[in-house]
Chains A and B, each alone.
Chain A
């Protein structure tokens, strides 16, 4: 992908050990070990595509007992099309059609697995990278591109798909999700709410406050953290000293670490957490342990801060290849299926390209629209003044 040759670069961690020994660095090393040791996580499908049974997954496996081979092909299709859309958007940014793009490459399983666990009446609060979840909610993927092209700040009506607008300020939406969930509980509804955020966002005060509020009000919200290991250039060691999912314990609700590259495990764990919420058992923290294969956004250059070896190790855990291996090994899909999907991907990519290029700039006077619901004298005044100013050019002809 975007990773250039880094053969000459020293492993990042080696420079850290050069610094002073002693208690501080020992603690640091211990923290790093806690973060980077092969984590205990819920996995149902190995990187080789084999179904596994274990003590860790026994509680969760029943939540996907109903998943048929056809369902598996559906999950595979979701991930492939999402990746294709994402790749197309990245290309469109490189071609100057988008001002910025935040790629989800590598995180398809976390997003499709959790997204497909949701019911229509559940409500989703995404960050700005949840393109796969948007796909699951039925939001037309081209609608996600308006904000990155610079024609709007949203581009879809959140109330239609119960999929809130992307939130760019890190972690803010976890509080909105909590408040919304408080409302769901007040309404006596059995809907659930899911809030997406990243490992970097877990450092934000708002996320801690969301944990506090949801715990004390026992709100039906699932905090779905995609730990993709990097917050732009900051590794998880710069965000935390204990594994992220363990944080939930301090707030009084369960936390689970799931293999974020295993779509089946993500589906199972999210269903489990959503059911807890629906039963009135309050919030859950799900840490989907995954990896951002590309850059943070198209403005970022990951070759400056991470090693090829690390990326290569995660490539071997690719969520799509894993399910493909499983489908092939079990006879769940044949070549015709994969070929058909390839053709569908190309059609999607073509449509995305065409729609983006045809996206009109907004009308100039849209600047003044929807600033207030009830109107505002100053906005009215400035709108009239600016309209008169623009009109003055036309009168000049």
Chain B
């Protein structure tokens, strides 16, 4: 049996190791990814085993990291770059949005951009400013990018390898407060498709849709609701671009109610897009408007306030109650 129990961090590390072993064109790049193994140790030991030419410590310059990764991709390499924290991606945002996302289209398909941008994201670790943000909607809004986020160790292992295999640029958001959560990883399994939603818990009364760090919160909410006799289905979206609306539609047509949960600000966020599209697709099935639970239109607060800011069990259950009350 090839099923192993490992943390998300370890699963990501093993995934990178597998990718480096499989394809000599795969490169790891980023600040501190070499000797240190990354500030979260996701690349731990990789430079030791694959050398400085494959696991590359870079200057402290995010635009440079992504911009040179684009050039390496043009030369036939498959760079996997690490942005140290979510809030530090913005110096690279120009290269990602104006260059990486559009290169394939501008070249009428003659150029592929197999670049993965790994970003530890979202809150819950008591960090200082710029270390807890959820900018996924800013990337999902950009044509040419794909945006995914695993919520468990198995997805961490498989989705990262699938992202590296993709000929499109993939923004790979890693839920940093879940890095140390353990789960089973079947390294011989045939994984789900990278952009397919997955039913994480079956239910019949209402659907909770989430991704990344909020899947765990939703599963806990579903368990708590079950004690009150409510049957809550939890859909792990896994991908924010594209979003598996077909998969989500199946769930919503069954439960007739939907609450979308994410850490990012609700306003113009992923949940807004999901609410609009599911309303369009499932108008005659819905018993209640699609509700959203997420962050406020305010800067991510100081760490001592993040427990209030982040959607927790109570806020999710409150939304479930509001939906069921229609």
Contact = CB atoms under 8 A, between A and B. Distances in A.
Residue of A178, A187, A374 ringed by the most chain B CB atoms within 10 A: A374
A362 B106 CA distance: 13
Contacts, number: 145
A66 B38 CA distance: 52
B74 A176 contact: yes
Contacts of A91: none
A35 to B, nearest CB: 27
B204 interface: no
Given A181-B71, A210-B67, A213-B61, A373 B104 contact: yes
Nearest to B106: A153
Contacts of B106: 153-154, 165
Contacts of A176: 67-68, 70-71, 74, 99
Nearest to A211: B64
B63 A165 contact: no
A376 B105 contact: no
Contact of B241 (A159, A181, A183, A378): A378
B98 interface: yes
A213 B70 CA distance: 13
Interface of B: 53, 58-59, 61, 63-64, 66-77, 79, 91, 94-95, 98-99, 102-113, 143-144, 146, 166-168, 195, 241-246
Contact of A371 (B69, B144, B243, B244): B144
A163 B104 CA distance: 15
Contacts of B69: 179
Interface in A145-197: 152-154, 157-159, 164-165, 167, 169, 172, 174-184, 186-187
Contact of B243 (A177, A180, A184, A378): A378
Contacts of A125: 71
B107 to A, nearest CB: 6
B92 to A, nearest CB: 10
Contact of B168 (A183, A184, A373): A373
Interface secondary structure of A, over-half rule: helix
29 contacts: A123-B74, A152-B108, A154-B106, A165-B106, A167-B99, A172-B94, A172-B98, A175-B66, A178-B68, A178-B71, A179-B69, A182-B72, A183-B75, A206-B64, A206-B67, A209-B59, A210-B68, A213-B58, A213-B59, A213-B64, A216-B59, A370-B108, A371-B104, A372-B104, A372-B168, A373-B167, A374-B167, A378-B241, A378-B242
Given A169-B94, A175-B64, A178-B71, A186 B245 contact: no
A377 interface: yes
A205 interface: yes
Interface in A357-397: 369-374, 376-379
A301 to B, nearest CB: 27
A175 B67 contact: yes
Given A154-B106, A213-B59, A376-B241, A186 B53 contact: yes
Contact of B75 (A167, A184, A376): A184
Interface range on chain A (Cβ under 8 Å from partner): 35 or more
B67 A172 contact: yes
Contacts of B167: 373-374
B61 A371 contact: no
A179 B242 contact: no
Contact of A180 (B75, B103, B107): B75
Contacts of B144: 371-372
A212 interface: yes
Contact of B105 (A174, A183, A216, A371): A371
A363 to B, nearest CB: 12
A179 B68 contact: yes
A182 B68 contact: yes
Given A175-B95, A179-B67, A159 B146 contact: no
